[in-house]
Amino acid sequence: MIKDASQYIAASLAYIINLSLSSGIYPAQWKNAKIIPVYKSGSVSELDNYRPISILPAISKIAERLVHDQLAIFLEDSSLLSPTQFGFRSKYSTGLAVTYFTDSIRKEMDRGKLTGAVFIDFRKAFDTVDHAVLIKKMEMLGVRGVQLKWFTDYLSNRQQVVIYDNYRSNNYPVSYGVPQGSILGPLLFLIYIDDLSKVLKHSNVIMYADDTVLYFSHEDIKNIEAVLSDDMDAVAQWLQRNQLVINLKKDKSESMVFGTAKRLAKDGNSSMCIQIGSDVIRSTTSYVYLGVKLDPTLNFGQYLHKTFKKTSSKLKMLKKIRSSLTVQSARMIYQSMIVPLMTYCDMVTLNLPGSWLSKFVNLENRAKKIIANGLSIENDDLNIRDFYSTRIFNAVMVVFKSLNGLSCEPFNDYFQIMSHQQNTRNNDYCLRLPKVKLEVARKGFYFQGAMAFNKLPLHVRQINSIVHFKSALNKQMNSF
């Protein structure tokens, strides 16, 4: 409705937003949220089994988007956020976070080392942000004057009402947390949590918003345990200062040791005893990190099995409703809701074992039959890129962005172009393959991605425009 009325309200809306920004005052009417509890699973009487959906005035989102984009540009251009924060940022993603983490482990496996990791989950992190602490952190980053006044007013005097089954609660003040359902909320949270990485003395860290993993590699498991314990003490102090609480429930915050099967067997019980305060962090041999189920040897068998089952289940659902759909609608559902399941984080399993590749290809063939629904339609007419080509396309696009400075900072020097002393036909257009000793290292994206890129025709590898490269790559994939 706002879009339809834009020619009539644009000038007035621009005046209101500019007045808000210049005065440092955020309209009070835009601070009121409606909370709709949506049941997830488990006991209906448990509050934790409901997901609160926050609904804010639509017009407020326009003002927030403008401020968000300017603040994000300021933070990125000034390099104020940690390069290992992968959440809610341009050029970053969950797939890149998981790939960077698992590749780091594979490299250490190749050196004969173990890697200990502590996965940290914060309890209701977004809802417990202290406004005063957040404003102080923004000021330290350089947000001052009327801009800081605007953010202070944006966070203060907020109210919410809960609506459930025709019942409406009284209005309640919101004194903590970034506004749920807002455009600015996730970015403000990144500012709030960013300095966590600065308190670590030895460990590496990867964050996706509040999903945090600390990790450290060494030949000796006791050394790893000592280092991680020391850094977890620093984390505990940081949590206290920032009024956040770690979630110690099963499958939330846990520790895990990674290594080759031979190396893990040599150490016998390769588990760690890591504490935070007086609480012991549970040790595990299986953890779901950003949607990917990890195992100690990075075999990914459990993850692939779960992905296969989930995809198969979705195909059964599509089959049930297929008679009510057109070919185009069925294809759209498959490509938008099922293919992403099959290819999520596919960089970590780019060197897919033949047995698993066959299983997913069989799923793909089932999908094509369901979409065709008995009609005589050639595969080319269905306009569905095959599973293998889709994975290669996704991987090579990441490599291209990395080579051309279009990826996030941790990936901008991920691959190296070979430099030859003599002129050859492929000079400067092949990527250097890392020297590895073990197969587990060869399966890393840093190796498989380079191999996939090198297999492209020379004229495709030579392209430096992302638009032209993507077009040429599409043609190349369609010719497979």
- For residue range 93-118, list pLDDT tens digits in order: 999 999 999 999 999 999 999 999 99
8-state DSSP, 15: H
- Antiparallel, parallel or unpaired: β 274-276 and 279-283: antiparallel
Tokens found for residue 193 = 């949590």
Tokens found for residue 271 = 């588990």
Share of the chain above pLDDT 70, in %: 96
What's at 38, amino acid-wise? V
Supply the DSSP string of 192-243, one letter for each residue: HHGGGGGG-SS-EEEEETTEEEEEEEES-HHHHHHHHHHHHHHHHHHHHHHT
Q: How far, in Å, CA of 464 to CA of 90, rounded?
A: 20
**How does 438-471 read in b/e, with b if 16+ C-beta sit within 10 Å?**
eebbbbbbbbbbbebbbebeeebbebeeeeebee
- For residue range 231-256, list pLDDT tens digits in order: 999 999 999 999 999 998 888 999 99
* Mean pLDDT score, 30-52: 88
Q: Given pLDDT bands bounded at 50, 70 and 90, which one contains residue 442?
A: very high
- For residue range 255-308, list pLDDT tens digits in order: 999 999 999 998 776 789 998 888 899 999 999 999 999 999 999 999 999 999
Chain CA centroid to CA 317, Å: 27
Count the helices and strands in the chain (H runs, E runs). Answer: 18, 13
The secondary element (H helix, E strand) that includes residue 132 is helix 131-141
* Mean pLDDT score, 377-388: 77
* Mean pLDDT score, 133-155: 98
Q: Where are the alpha helices (DSSP H) in 296-338?
A: 301-321, 327-333
Tokens found for residue 355 = 């047995």
CB-based burial label for 47 (10 Å; 0-12, 13-18, 19+): exposed
* CATH fold for the domain made of 94-124+193-294: Alpha-Beta Plaits (3.30.70)
**How does 344-377 read in b/e, with b if 16+ C-beta sit within 10 Å?**
bbbbbbbebeeebeebbeebbebbbebbbeeeee
Angle at 276 between CA 270 and CA 281, to 5 degrees: 40
Q: How far, in Å, CA of 138 to CA of 149, rounded?
A: 11
Residue 458 has pLDDT above 80, yes or no: yes
Sequence-separated (6 or more) residues with CB below 8 Å from residue 310: 341
Nearest Cα neighbor of 109 from 259, 8, 1 is 259
The pTM of the full predicted model, rounded to 2 decimals, is 0.93
* Mean pLDDT score, 434-446: 97
The dihedral built from the CA positions of residue 355, 360, 361 and 366, taken in this order, carries a sign that is positive
- For residue range 54-96, list pLDDT tens digits in order: 999 999 999 999 999 999 999 999 999 999 999 999 999 999 9
- Percent helix, strand and coil across the chain, each rounded to 5? 50, 15, 35
Q: Given pLDDT bands bounded at 50, 70 and 90, which one contains residue 211?
A: very high
Residue 147 has pLDDT above 90, yes or no: yes
